[in-house]
């Protein structure tokens, strides 16, 4: 097995907490607390990716995402901290009063190219074309694809399982529930579980891709990682379950019932969930685990996304 190297960016171990909500207890792993400006699940992936960018002597880092992408924001900040420029290819429009993640992207000096939905469907081609143009000028762009979900980036969540293993007896745990965007977090978790020979399921709540697409992406990434790093394990399809139907309003939207739950949860526990990922995943967790008294055997992974809240200020305030 080849172990990749990383730089240190995340404040880890993050706490594993027992939370009481609606009269029921459940377990929450607080990856929203990996940092402040640099926070959430992306930081774990970026530890490996930025190490590699530095090793390759990158002049600039390219990545992509929505205009409120947590990953793009975290990449811009991580790049700044490593003294490397960044360019973000964002799906959406520029706003004079940029809010949330977009505000931070600008504050940290990232160059931004805004793309419409059609252009964004070809974002990898766009990034690699631009990389090729820069290469002709002897400039090296390190490209981080969607969500930092490469066979290198997902090491963030392979090693996460070692961290969790020290915090709780994982033989008592049945599952880990997390939002799935690009699928890297779920792929890393699956591999970490296999490497530790645990009988734990990953419940991925798809917020961006269809059930079949996300399943394919997760297995593709995990299989690629097994090959790239010669991991001594194989995948068990039964260990991944997609909890579908919690983002039918679309990636950039969120329904009132979910927002009500987010507000109620924030006001009774102090913990804030975001509108694109954790708010949707938490609703799925609430319906399928908390309400069924399965919260102490199934861990909710809070993957962060705090700054996304500011892009939806009015909706958060107007919801009861
Ligand atoms: C807050 C948050 N949670 C979850 C995810 C999903 O992670 P992944 O892309 O690894 O599936 C993302 C990013 O996509 C995110 O920003």
Residues 86 and 137 in one domain: yes
- The whole-number average pLDDT for the span 19-30 is 98
Report how far ligand 1's centroid is from the alpha carbon of 207 (Å): 9
Query: By residue range, what is the domain housing residue 243?
Result: 16-40+150-318
CATH of the domain at 254: 3.40.50.1100
Burial class (CB in 10 A: 0-12, 13-18, 19+), 243: buried
314 vs 309: CA distance, rounded Å? 10
- Helix (H) or strand (E) holding 107, with range, is helix 100-107
Same domain, 83 and 170: no
Q: What is the pLDDT of residue 2?
A: 83
Tell me the C-alpha to C-alpha distance, in Å, between residue 226 and each of 200, 212, 234: 19, 21, 8
Active site residue 69: yes
pLDDT in tens, 79-108: 999 999 999 999 999 988 899 999 999 999
CA distance 279 to 179: 9
Last residue of a domain, one of 87, 112, 147: 147
Residues 32, 124, single domain; the answer is no
Average pLDDT over residues 243-263: 97
pLDDT of 96: 86
* Edge-first strand listing for the sheet containing 298-302: 16-21, 24-30, 298-302, 175-180, 201-206, 240-243
pLDDT of residue 257: 97
| Boundary of a domain, candidates 117, 147, 177 | 147
Q: How far is the CA of 305 from the centre of ligand 1 (A)?
A: 8
Residue 307 lies in a domain: yes
Q: What is the overall mean pLDDT for the chain? A: 97
165 within some domain: yes
Pair (22, 59) in one structural domain: no
Q: CB–CB of 78/34 below 8 Å?
A: no
Torsion of CA 218, 220, 221, 222, to 10 degrees: 80
Structure-token pair, residue 274? 């975001």
Q: Is residue 67 part of a domain?
A: yes
1 pLDDT tier (thresholds 50, 70, 90) = confident
Domain membership flag for residue 10: no
Query: Could you tell me what percent of the chain has a pLDDT over 70?
Result: 100
What would the mean pLDDT of 264-287 be, rounded to a whole number?
98
- Split into its structural domains, the chain has a count of 2
Q: Are residues 49 and 25 in the same domain?
A: no
Q: Please indicate whether residue 275, judged by its CB atom, sits closer than 6 Å to ligand 1.
A: no
Residues 191 and 204 in one domain: yes
Quick check: 212 pLDDT over 90? yes
**Are 249 and 166 found together in one domain?**
yes
Give the total residue count for the chain: 320
Which residues does residue 12 pair with via DSSP β-bridges, in sequence order?
none
Q: What is the CA radius of gyration of the chain?
A: 19
| Biggest distance spanned by C-alpha atoms of the chain | 62
Q: Which of 100, 120, 147 is the last residue of a domain?
A: 147
Residue 11 lies in a domain: no
CA 183 to ligand 1 center in whole angstroms: 8
pLDDT digits (tens, 9 = 90+) for 301-316: 999 999 999 989 999 9
Q: Are residues 220 and 266 located together in one domain of the fold?
A: yes
User: What is the structure's pLDDT at 181?
Assistant: 97
Which of 49, 138, 47, 127 minimizes the C-alpha distance to 88?
A: 127
| Pair (274, 290) in one structural domain | yes
Average pLDDT of the residues in 264-277:
97
pLDDT at 298 exceeding the cut of 90? yes
One domain for residues 262 and 307? yes
């Amino acid at each position: 097995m080849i172990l990749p190297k990383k730089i240190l960016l995340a404040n880890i171990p993050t706490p594993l907490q027992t939370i009481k909500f609606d009269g029921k207890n459940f377990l929450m792993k607080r990856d929203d607390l990996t940092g402040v400006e640099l926070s959430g699940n992306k930081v774990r992936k970026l530890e490996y990716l930025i190490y590699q960018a530095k090793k390759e002597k990158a002049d600039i880092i390219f990545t992509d995402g929505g205009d409120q992408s947590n990953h793009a924001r975290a990449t811009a900040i991580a790049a700044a901290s490593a003294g490397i420029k960044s360019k973000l290819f964002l799906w959406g429009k520029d706003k004079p009063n940029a809010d949330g993640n977009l505000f931070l992207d600008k504050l940290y000096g990232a160059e931004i190219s805004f793309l419409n939905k059609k252009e964004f469907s070809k974002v990898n081609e766009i990034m690699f074309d631009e990389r090729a143009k820069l290469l002709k000028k002897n400039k090296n762009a390190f490209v981080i694809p969607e969500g930092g979900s490469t066979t290198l980036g997902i090491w963030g969540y392979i090693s996460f399982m070692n961290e969790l293993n020290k915090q709780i007896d994982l033989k008592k745990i049945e599952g880990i529930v997390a939002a799935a965007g690009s699928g890297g977090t779920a792929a890393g978790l699956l591999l970490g579980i296999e490497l530790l020979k645990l009988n734990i399921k990953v419940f991925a709540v798809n917020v961006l891709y269809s059930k079949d697409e996300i399943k394919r992406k997760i297995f593709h990434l995990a299989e690629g990682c097994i090959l790239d790093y010669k991991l001594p394990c194989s995948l068990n399809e039964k260990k991944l379950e997609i909890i579908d139907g919690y983002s039918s309003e679309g990636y950039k939207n969120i329904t009132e019932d979910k927002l009500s739950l987010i507000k109620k949860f924030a006001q009774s526990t102090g913990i804030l969930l975001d509108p694109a990922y954790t708010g949707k995943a938490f609703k799925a967790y609430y319906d399928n685990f908390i309400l069924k008294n399965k919260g102490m055997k199934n861990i909710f992974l809070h993957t962060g996304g705090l700054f996304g809240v500011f892009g939806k200020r009015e909706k958060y305030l107007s919801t009861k």
